[in-house]
A and B are shown apart, each in its own frame.
Chain A
Amino acid sequence: MSESRRFGARIVPRREALTAAIDALESRRRAVRVDAPLREMIGAFNLAMVYAWLRLSWAAALRPRRDPVVRRNRYDARLGWLFVEDKDSPYGVEARVIPLSEGEGPRLARLQDLGDRVRYRLQTTSHVTLDGLSDDSLFFVILGGRAIPLSPQALRSVLDASGLADSFPWPLNVPRHYWITRALEDGVRLTDLDPFLGHLHDPLPWGPYAARPLSHSASSFRRFATTILKEVGFL
């Protein structure tokens, strides 16, 4: 065959479109100053939260289907592990741990710290209501005078308000499509990645029948996460 034909999932982003989108997002980011005027702080904070969420979704290939997927203090920044609950099934919530690549754990810790300071500012010096926000929400934004968990819809609203909606035309679960596609192209074993992506079938790397140490799969996952973050422009 003269030219290779592609088939399968049709929502795997082109790399050049992806890096352009991440570049556009990076260029709009500003440092969040909690003592800045409220409107300015909210704009910078919302974009910082969206950036952090998108970065985490590419670092860990999360399902963005419900909120909260990641909760406050449900990660180990030092050891680089994250606890996620990103899917409901008839049999309960599919919860799992995901290895974080180097630097992503401390990023979450800094984000949580920023969120705490913003909450305090909002509670003490603004009319922004926080009644829609649970204490364990790690990712949240302020829209329409309310602090709310960062749902996919809220994320879209922030991108739209920042003029970035056109740069991100993809559904929010495209990191998962990109991960598997690139893993197959690079010869990364899917048996190492699948359990951390939530494709849970025996033997789980943390289950009683596991024949390999969990650390082997975890380091393979971390290596590949770093590759992906570099490839799409987060590193």
Chain B
Amino acid sequence: MLSANGSGRTAVRFGTAERVAMAKLGLIHDGSTAQPFEFANIYATLFDRPAELMDESQLRAALFGGLIVLHGLDPSTLGTLRLTVGQPPDSAGPSLDLEAGTLWTPLPSVGYAGPLRNELAAACRPGSGWASVPLLPWLRRIAAQYQQGRPTSRSDPAGLVFVSDGAGSGDDDSPASPGVIGTPSLERRLARSATRWLVHHGMEPIFGAIVSGKFNFAALATSAYANLSDAQLAEAHARSAARSTWRYSQNAATRATGWPIWKIQTSRLAQCLRVAALVHGSSRGARH
């Protein structure tokens, strides 16, 4: 049977061929990757005031948006993100401990999932099927503030972190979305692209997979082997997030002034550094 174009070949969806070619070349970006200016636009909203000065809806929006642009968490995952205190039960999905500022992500189990013999366990490092991902400092403060003003369990019996307030855009398949980022498709694209930019700025793909809870084939292979610590993960994440943030902030500064980066005033550059340091939690992340 001939296809619609009469050539006998299956029609190739626009963009697929280029994505395949770019993957072959080992490039992490393709034509669908959100660009720095798109992140810069979001940052201007998310970083415009300290957590202490935000009201409840702003905190909710900042936490939701922050988990998308700083962790790469998909909006659909955020829609099912559950509250937890400490490690969640085995059957749970990704969960958030607001008080500790820790995101819990289940790791794919490839082998050796059962209990180990005592003599083997004693000769091995401790491990777990749950990754504990410390939130970046800025998000941790947001999470702590959000917890204080969050509605009680009466309005949130399922224990979801984000509950729909009915103000969605209608075509939204992530009902918990506060809608601060934009359309659902933009949110998904930003989440996908955030992981790419984190990897682009030096983070190993396995770390990107863990902080976002998205495992592709390559990350799956590595995750089956690696034994990691939350401090190691936090450091790698903070370093790449600060680099990404620095780049987005630079982009925002150049767009605001219309000048190339080498013409940007010192005060604006200092502001970029402050934003990057805010994410990292110290001044170290701002040095490049």
- CB contacts (< 8 Å) of B119 on chain A: these are 166, 169
Task: Write out, one digit per residue, whether chain B residues 98-112 have a CB within 8 A of any chain A CB (1) or not (0).
Answer: 001010000100001
Work out how many contacts link A and B, with CB atoms closer than 8 A: 129
**Interface size counted on chain A using CB atoms at 8 A:** 35
- CB contacts (< 8 Å) of B230 on chain A: these are 1, 4-7
User: B81: CB under 8 A from chain A?
Assistant: no
Say whether B226 contacts A203, CB under 8 Å. no
Task: Write out, one digit per residue, whether chain B residues 190-209 have a CB within 8 A of any chain A CB (1) or not (0).
Answer: 00000000000000111100
Say whether A7 contacts B132, CB under 8 Å. yes
Say whether A9 contacts B127, CB under 8 Å. yes
Chain A 184-216 residues near chain B, CB threshold 8 A: 184-185, 189-191, 194, 199, 201-203, 209, 211
- CB contacts (< 8 Å) of B117 on chain A: these are 169
User: B92: CB under 8 A from chain A?
Assistant: no
Say whether A1 contacts B100, CB under 8 Å. yes
The closest CB in chain B to the CB of A20 belongs to B123
User: B167: CB under 8 A from chain A?
Assistant: no
Contacts A8-B131, A201-B217, A209-B25 hold; do A14 and B123 have CB atoms under 8 A apart?
Answer: yes
Contacts A10-B112, A181-B226 hold; do A17 and B123 have CB atoms under 8 A apart?
Answer: yes
Contacts A1-B100, A184-B232, A202-B26 hold; do A9 and B132 have CB atoms under 8 A apart?
Answer: no
Contacts A1-B230, A8-B128, A185-B232 hold; do A170 and B225 have CB atoms under 8 A apart?
Answer: no
User: B85: CB under 8 A from chain A?
Assistant: no
Instruction: Choose from A8, A13, A179 the contact partner of B107 (Cβ within 8 Å).
Output: A8
User: B44: CB under 8 A from chain A?
Assistant: no
The closest CB in chain A to the CB of B233 belongs to A7
Instruction: Choose from B112, B125, B222, B231 the contact partner of A199 (Cβ within 8 Å).
Output: B222
Say whether B225 contacts A169, CB under 8 Å. no
Contacts A1-B134, A202-B26, A203-B26 hold; do A6 and B123 have CB atoms under 8 A apart?
Answer: no
The closest CB in chain A to the CB of B120 belongs to A169
Say whether A4 contacts B124, CB under 8 Å. no
Q: Return B227 CB to nearest CB of chain A, in Å.
A: 4
- CB contacts (< 8 Å) of B186 on chain A: these are none
Q: How far is the CA of A181 from the CA of B226 in the complex (A)?
A: 5
User: B158: CB under 8 A from chain A?
Assistant: no
User: A180: CB under 8 A from chain B?
Assistant: yes
Q: How far is the CA of A180 from the CA of B219 in the complex (A)?
A: 12
User: A38: CB under 8 A from chain B?
Assistant: no
Chain A 149-184 residues near chain B, CB threshold 8 A: 166, 169-171, 176-177, 179-181, 184
User: B270: CB under 8 A from chain A?
Assistant: no
Instruction: Choose from B134, B217, B218, B223 the contact partner of A8 (Cβ within 8 Å).
Output: B223
Contacts A169-B117, A181-B227 hold; do A6 and B127 have CB atoms under 8 A apart?
Answer: yes
Say whether B132 contacts A180, CB under 8 Å. no
User: B264: CB under 8 A from chain A?
Assistant: no
Contacts A4-B231, A5-B132 hold; do A177 and B225 have CB atoms under 8 A apart?
Answer: yes
The closest CB in chain A to the CB of B87 belongs to A5
Q: How far is the CA of A181 from the CA of B231 in the complex (A)?
A: 14
Q: How far is the CA of A14 from the CA of B123 in the complex (A)?
A: 6
User: A24: CB under 8 A from chain B?
Assistant: no
Task: Write out, one digit per residue, whether chain B residues 224-265 have a CB within 8 A of any chain A CB (1) or not (0).
Answer: 111111111000000000000000000000000000000000
Say whether A184 contacts B228, CB under 8 Å. yes
User: A44: CB under 8 A from chain B?
Assistant: no
User: A41: CB under 8 A from chain B?
Assistant: no
Say whether B100 contacts A10, CB under 8 Å. no
Indicate the member of B107, B131, B226, B230 with the most A CB atoms within 10 Å: B226
Say whether B116 contacts A11, CB under 8 Å. yes
Apart from the given pairs A6-B125, A10-B124, A11-B127, 9 other A-B contacts in the complex at a CB distance below 8 Å: A4-B229, A5-B128, A9-B224, A10-B227, A14-B125, A170-B124, A181-B125, A184-B228, A199-B218
**Which 3 residue pairs spanning A and B have beta carbons closest together?**
A10-B127, A4-B231, A12-B227
A-B contacts, 6 listed (Cβ < 8 Å): A1-B134, A6-B126, A8-B128, A8-B131, A190-B222, A211-B25
Q: Which residues of A contact B (CB under 8 A)?
A: 1, 4-14, 17-18, 166, 169-171, 176-177, 179-181, 184-185, 189-191, 194, 199, 201-203, 209, 211
